[in-house]
Amino acid sequence: MDVKTHNRYAYSSINKRPTYAWPNGKRLAVYVALNIEQFSYGEGKGAAIAPPDQAVSDSIYSWRDYGNRVGIWRVLEMLQELDIPAEAQINTAIYEHCPDIPDALRELGHEILGHGISNSFEQGDLDEATEAAHIKFVTEFLTRAEGRQPTGWMSPWLSNSALTPDLLHEAGYRYFMDWTCDDQPIWMTTRNGRILAMPYPIECNDTRGIVWYRYSSEEFADMIIACFDEMLRQSAKQPLVCPISLHPFVVGRPYRLGPLRRAFEHINAHRDQIWLARPGEICTHIETLPAGTVPGG
């Protein structure tokens, strides 16, 4: 029996790689990802908080809509209070339905990534022409809206076809966040070049940790702190990336904000030891390193 693999990157054990540092000699980069999403009323994917036959119910739609009406504003206030930069992967439908959200992100200096049109739909089952057109539409939309092309992408639901990395590279993206195989950025091969795979969290991610795995808000905050503390210790030997993924319709609830604030205050207490960054800045730094320093490609 053959065990299938892929041609995107070769195996590389993290303890045998060349070492390098982040700016100012830091060894741990930390970034906060905000998933800002617009859902289509009455159709599409749910969020695992209800049986599949209720995924498009009014209660589930409005539960997620809370994130745009209330949750994102509470989270942005917290990040501003603690002086923590962030990036936002944003559905283009947000610009029509909640136009003051991108205005606030822009004003606060947060990075904006491509994230499809709506998170009611995946892109992994699209044919090549349709997926390429989808990426092109989102890219051109964000370029017009923000005055520059986004450098990073996250697919809705991390959904990839066999050609997604190729199509993203060909659309001008320098990094994407769909493959979650490493604690360092790695180069992935595409049919016409390479694209950087940015570390992204599956578990320090509130939809997975709180909604799917059913950790309490306190347990989720403890998870962020435990991950940060251990990665800070490990980073004495090698540069690492500690990502934290948040969805305003999950952590933007009043009773979850306090534990989240506790986790961020803990990280802030170590601010002199870390690089609080946006993933686009991490990508730019990686691109300056000598060939062969970062695995893959």
**Residues 231-249: pLDDT tens digits?**
999 999 999 999 999 999 9
| pTM, to two decimals | 0.95
Domain layout of the chain by residue ranges: 18-287
pLDDT of residue 41: 87
State mean pLDDT over 265-270: 98
pLDDT of residue 206: 92
Three-state DSSP at 222 gives: helix
Three-state DSSP at 225 gives: helix
If pLDDT is split at 50, 70 and 90, which confidence band does 209 have? confident
State mean pLDDT over 284-288: 98
Q: Are 166 and 191 in contact (CB under 8 A)?
A: yes
| Among candidate residues 201, 193, 200, 199, the one with its CA nearest the CA of residue 174 | 193
pLDDT above 90: residue 54? no
pLDDT above 90: residue 140? yes
Six-digit token pair at 10? 């070769």
Read out DSSP for 110-153?
Answer: -EEEE--S-TTS-STTS-HHHHHHHHHHHHHHHHHHHSS--SEE
**Residues 74-103: pLDDT tens digits?**
999 999 999 999 999 999 999 999 999 999
State mean pLDDT over 33-56: 78
Neighbours of 39 (CB within 10 A): 27
Q: What is the CATH number of domain 18-287?
A: 3.20.20.370
pLDDT above 90: residue 1? no
Collect all residues with Cβ–Cβ distance below 8 Å to 119 and sequence separation of at least 6: 35, 37, 38, 39, 44, 45, 91, 156, 157
Three-state DSSP at 248 gives: helix
Six-digit token pair at 178? 């769909």
Q: Where are the beta strands (DSSP E) in the chain?
A: 28-36, 87-90, 111-114, 152-153, 175-176, 186-190, 193-197, 240-246, 274-276
Q: Are 101 and 71 in contact (CB under 8 A)?
A: no
Q: How far apart are CA 205 and CA 207, in angstroms?
A: 6
What average pLDDT does the chain have?
A: 94
Going by the DSSP 8-state scheme, the letter that residue 23 receives in this structure is: G
Three-state DSSP at 296 gives: strand
**Residues 154-176: pLDDT tens digits?**
999 899 999 999 999 999 999 99
| Among candidate residues 282, 279, 251, the one with its CA nearest the CA of residue 115 | 279
pLDDT above 70: residue 49? no
When mean pLDDT is compared across 74-78, 182-186, 210-214, 225-229, the lowest value belongs to 210-214
Q: Are 198 and 177 in contact (CB under 8 A)?
A: yes
pLDDT of residue 142: 98
State mean pLDDT over 269-273: 97
pLDDT of residue 47: 66
Going by the DSSP 8-state scheme, the letter that residue 22 receives in this structure is: -
| Among candidate residues 79, 269, 97, 96, the one with its CA nearest the CA of residue 88 | 79
pLDDT above 70: residue 52? no
State mean pLDDT over 240-260: 97
Report the run of H or E that residue 283 belongs to, with start and end.
helix 279-287
When mean pLDDT is compared across 99-103, 120-124, 181-185, the lowest value belongs to 120-124
